Amino acid sequence: MESKITILPTESVFYGTFDTRLRIIKLPKHYHFGKVYPRYNEVGKQSYRAVRVYRSRIEYDVNFYTSDTAIIADILASDLEVVEITKPLNQSHKEMLHDSDRRVVIRDKLWYRKYKHKITAWHNYEKATTHDESKSMVQWIYDNFDRKSNRLVSNSYGTWFSSPGRLISPPTIFTNSEETMMIFKLAYSSMLRITMETCITLKEIDN
Judgement on whether residues 42 and 113 belong to the same structural domain of the protein: no
95 found inside a domain? no
1 found inside a domain: no
Residue 36: C-alpha distances to residues 33, 76, 163, 190 (Å): 5, 14, 64, 45
pLDDT band at 75 (very low <50, low <70, confident <90, very high): very high
Last residue in a domain, options 45, 66, 89: 89
Q: Which residue has the higher pLDDT, 188 or 103?
A: 188
pLDDT of 15-72, one tens digit each? Answer: 989 999 999 999 999 999 999 999 998 889 999 999 999 999 999 999 999 999 999 9
> Domain ends where: 32, 56, 89?
89
Domain that holds residue 127: 102-206
The DSSP output letter for 167 is P
Predicted pLDDT of residue 73: 96
- Are residue 43 and residue 112 in the same domain, yes or no? no
Asked if residue 14 and residue 43 are part of one domain, the reply reads yes
> pTM value?
0.69
Same domain flag for 85 and 137 = no
Bridge-based pairing of strands 192-201 and 172-175 is unpaired
In 42-185, beta strands by DSSP E: 48-54, 59-66, 81-87, 102-107, 117-123, 151-153, 172-175
CB-based contact 85:19 (threshold 8 Å): no
End residue of a domain, out of 41, 66, 89: 89
